[in-house]
Amino acid sequence: MKGDPGSDVPHGDTLLAFADAALGGDKAVLDRAREAVRLAVGDAGLSDAAAVIGGFDGITRIAEATGIPLEPEKAAQTADFFGALDIGRFRRAKT
């Protein structure tokens, strides 16, 4: 993603590239990203990583299509990075 700050999570950069590729349209990029994840976390880790990506590709659509709001207590807890990352721009784009 543009302006990606990277990650301190173990194999984080490899996993982020895998998520980007799994939702992208380039099969060759996805094939390379998949093999990188397999080398990093093994076959079982690859399967579980792909499962999380699939699950969130579905649940984000549920959240957006039903218009559910973030709970007030969660919004308060995340207000600092919500603002820092300008996540409100997502709301401004809605039609």
Binding residues (CB under 8 A) for another protein: these are 1, 7, 9-12, 15-16, 18-20, 22-23, 30-31, 34, 41-42, 44-71, 87-88, 90-91, 93-95
CB of 81 to another protein, least distance (A): 10
CB of 41 to another protein, least distance (A): 6
Q: Which residues of 36-75 are buried (b: 16+ CB within 10 A; e: fewer)?
A: bbbebbeeeebeebeeebeeeeeeeeeeeeeeeeeeeeee
> Which amino acid, one-letter code, is at 50?
A
CB nearer to another protein: pick between 62 and 84: 62
> Which amino acid, one-letter code, is at 30?
L
CB of 32 to another protein, least distance (A): 12
Instruction: Find all residues with CB under 8 Å of 49, minimum gap 6, and list them.
Output: 15, 18, 37, 41
CB nearer to another protein: pick between 39 and 57: 57
